[in-house]
């Protein structure tokens, strides 16, 4: 269900709550950090969640002793099920999300001297996959309102070395794919969607991961569809499928037969094991229901937070018809909280029993990048002048702002009840009322 529809559903209830205070509100209590009682002591839902069906599937694999994809059927079954769920022709099950990114980059022959346009507000794996192909990650600034890549700044970053564009659908929110695909078509540059946090998210009712040339998922323990460590590649191109598959399995064919001498290149082992696939198939049966719960709670929480100036949910572009909410992302304004620093706000809300956290730091400024570019391998590929030019382009003021303002709630929090969402808003209202005292304490 689209987020806009869900927002309309709860607007009346949320408005009433804003007027009278959320149920269980301790509006007169001192903040927990100043000696008062916390808003809540009950824990939010844990993650991952295990059910008897998960145990049965996993034990079936153990007892069959057919533990890799050629012997068993669970990996193939999962690839078929996930491709169908995405509305795509092909899925390749990989060992992890990073492996999915690597296989996709390889399929497009991304390599030394190439540039990949990518947003800097992301987990390090996105950039490590690019560096793993000895290409340069060229950072396109973040739109602070959405916390996603600013699609209007992509075209200015293109050079003759630009090999692909890699938008990240962070937290389940979807990047501006209309603009990105327009640029892709105009400049003949392929697109790899990093949908590692966007299970079931949609752009204009099409699944994220199916809009570009390739799409990548992570099924790591904390993701909305968890398999421990696992990932997947989605594509509608037979050629890209065969090359991505080949790379992830030492260039074996999709039926794990001998290498095709006419097309094979270098490859590595990024195969998913039968254990992960069996667990994923069981978890998949609950994904839709869980996603709808997150979406309903996100819409409700958004209405409640409209009564908390200074805490603003991340913007969704009009084309995003479904946000699967791996993260509930918000922006914090200290000015609305008497100048209370974000770090102090986070501590105060956490003390009230709400597991809010700050978002990513400025990855484009992380020391690991300089260490990598100064390594023996990269010095053999890139000249001092090329690296200097890369540094000159690596300025992202919008991302700096997103990193300074970001707040997150994890997807497990959105699996709670309506009263749990009310507790979140109550805690933030409480901190806001006592912001001056918290700043001085």
What stretch of H or E contains 166?
Answer: strand 162-166
Using the Cα atoms of residue 326, residue 7, residue 200 and residue 415 in order, give the sign of their dihedral: positive
**Peptide bond before residue 48 is cis, with ω within 30 degrees of 0:** yes
The pTM (predicted TM-score) of the whole model is 0.92
Residue 116: its H or E element: strand 115-118
Query: Residue 416: its pLDDT value, please?
Result: 97
Tens of pLDDT, residues 20-68:
334 444 445 899 999 999 999 999 999 999 999 999 999 999 999 999 9
pLDDT at 286 over 50: yes
Query: What is the CATH topology of the domain spanning 52-281?
Result: 3.40.640
Residues 207-221 pLDDT 10s? 999 999 999 999 999
Query: What is the spatial distance between Cα 34 and Cα 8, in angstroms, rounded to a whole number?
Result: 37
Topology of domain 3-47+286-359+403-440 in CATH is: 3.90.1150
320-322: strand order across its sheet: 206-207, 202-203, 320-322
Domain ranges of the chain: 3-47+286-359+403-440, 52-281
pLDDT tens figures, 97-142: 999 999 999 999 999 999 999 999 999 999 999 999 999 999 999 9
Distances (CA, A) of 188 to 30, 176, 180, 306: 59, 18, 12, 42
Structural element, H or E, at residue 202: strand 202-203
Note the pLDDT tens digit of each residue in 158-215: 999 999 999 999 999 999 999 999 999 999 999 999 999 999 999 999 999 999 999 9
Distance CA 359, CA 355 (A): 13
- Parallel, antiparallel or unpaired: strands 192-194 and 311-313: unpaired
Q: Is residue 262 over pLDDT 90?
A: no
Three-class DSSP category at 229: coil
The answer to whether residues 139 and 160 touch, using CB atoms and an 8 Å cutoff, is: no
> How confident is the prediction for the chain on average, in pLDDT?
93
Dihedral Cα 102, 103, 105, 109, nearest 10 deg: 130
Q: How many residues does the chain have?
A: 441
Q: Of 261, 301, 279, which Cα lies nearest the Cα of 426?
A: 301
Same fold, 3-47+286-359+403-440 and 52-281: no
**Rounded Cα gap, residues 91 and 97, in angstroms:** 13
Answer yes or no: are the C-beta atoms of 396 and 364 closer than 8 Å.
yes
């Amino acid at each position: 269900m689209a987020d806009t529809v869900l927002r309309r559903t709860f607007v009346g209830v949320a408005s009433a709550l804003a007027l009278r205070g959320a149920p269980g509100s301790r509006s007169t209590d001192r903040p927990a950090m100043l000696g008062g009682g916390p808003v809540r002591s009950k824990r939010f839902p844990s993650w991952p969640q295990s059910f008897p069906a998960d145990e049965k599937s996993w034990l079936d694999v153990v007892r069959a002793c057919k533990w890799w994809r050629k012997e068993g059927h669970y990996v193939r079954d999962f690839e078929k099920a996930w491709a169908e769920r995405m509305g795509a022709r092909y899925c390749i099950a990989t060992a992890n999300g990073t492996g999915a990114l690597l296989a996709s980059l390889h399929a497009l022959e991304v390599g030394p001297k190439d540039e990949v346009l990518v947003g800097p507000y992301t987990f390090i794996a996105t950039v490590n996959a690019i560096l793993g192909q000895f290409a340069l990650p060229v950072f396109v600034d973040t739109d602070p309102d959405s916390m996603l890549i600013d699609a209007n700044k992509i075209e200015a970053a293109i050079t003759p070395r630009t090999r692909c564009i890699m938008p990240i659908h962070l937290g389940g929110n979807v990047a501006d794919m209309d603009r990105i695909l327009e640029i892709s078509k105009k400049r003949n540059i392929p697109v790899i969607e990093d949908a590692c946090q966007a299970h079931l998210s949609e752009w204009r009712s099409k699944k994220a991961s199916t809009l570009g040339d390739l799409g990548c998922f992570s099924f790591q323990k904390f993701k909305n569809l968890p398999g421990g460590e696992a990932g997947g590649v989605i594509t509608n191109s037979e050629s890209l499928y065969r090359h991505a598959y080949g790379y992830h399995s030492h260039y074996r064919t999709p039926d794990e037969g001998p290498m095709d001498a006419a097309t094979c290149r270098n490859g590595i082992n990024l195969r998913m094991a039968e254990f992960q696939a069996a667990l994923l198939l069981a978890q998949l049966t609950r994904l839709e229901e869980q996603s709808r719960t997150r979406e309903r709670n996100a819409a409700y929480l958004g209405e409640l937070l409209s009564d908390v100036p200074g805490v603003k949910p991340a913007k969704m572009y009009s084309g995003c018809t479904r946000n699967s909410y791996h993260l509930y992302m918000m922006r914090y304004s200290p000015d609305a909280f008497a100048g209370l620093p974000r770090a102090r706000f986070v501590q105060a809300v956490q003390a009230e029993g709400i597991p809010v956290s700050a978002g990513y730091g400025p990855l484009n400024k992380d020391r690991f990048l300089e260490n990598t570019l100064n390594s023996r391998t990269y010095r053999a590929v890139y000249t001092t002048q090329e690296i200097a030019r890369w540094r000159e382009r690596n300025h992202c003021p919008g991302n700096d702002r997103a990193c300074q303002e970001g707040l997150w709630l994890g997807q497990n929090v959105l699996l709670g009840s309506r009263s749990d969402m009310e507790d979140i808003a109550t805690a933030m209202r409480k901190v806001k009322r006592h912001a001056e005292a918290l700043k001085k304490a």
